[in-house]
Amino acid sequence: MLCFRPTFIQIWKKRSVEQFRPDPYLATAVNCMSWVVYGLPVVKPNALLVLTTNGLGAFISFIYIAIFVLYSDNKKRVKILTILLVEICFIVLLLLLVVFLVPAVSQRILIVGVVSLVLCVISYGAPLSVLVRIMLNS
């Protein structure tokens, strides 16, 4: 997670996001938020380690996204904030639906776990969007 630090040092020094894209950071944020939901006592009791590590990961992702928002132009800023808002709404909706509609803890664990695994795969695939962009522009 902290391996992205050189990117953000460059953004901070130039005061511009230039060609950098926020996709991996937005994907990581929603991934960490879903695992935070998984680690909540109402979904999976006794998962404090999952909750704290992913809570920290989400916090770091939000810092990265805030840097992107700070140094982006208005069009990119609105796009980033819109995507982040949709992600937060998705996570809140997931939590509410699972807590209020799924009575068994084992089913909650399964549902949120599967969603989190899918988001995890997307999170690890998101940096590849940059690679695809580079290959298409070559």
Q: What gap in Å lies between CA 96 and CA 104, rounded to an integer?
A: 14
Neighbours of 110 (CB within 10 A): 13
pLDDT, tens only, 66-111: 988 888 888 989 999 999 999 999 999 999 999 999 999 999 999 9
Distance in angstroms (rounded) separating the CA atoms of residues 47 and 78: 35
Is the model's pLDDT at 133 over the cut of 80?
A: no
Among residues 28, 29, 52, 30, the alpha carbon closest in space to that of 41 is found at 52
pLDDT digits (tens, 9 = 90+) for 12-48: 777 777 777 788 889 999 999 999 999 999 999 999 9
pTM here is 0.84
Helical (H) or strand (E) element with 20: none
pLDDT at 114: 97
Q: What stretch of H or E contains 92?
A: helix 74-101
CA–CA distance, 38 with 15 (Å, rounded to integer): 37
| Tokens describing residue 28 | 């990581």
For residue 2, is pLDDT > 70?
no
Q: What CA–CA distances, in Å, run from 106 to 42, 65, 100, 133?
A: 11, 34, 14, 41
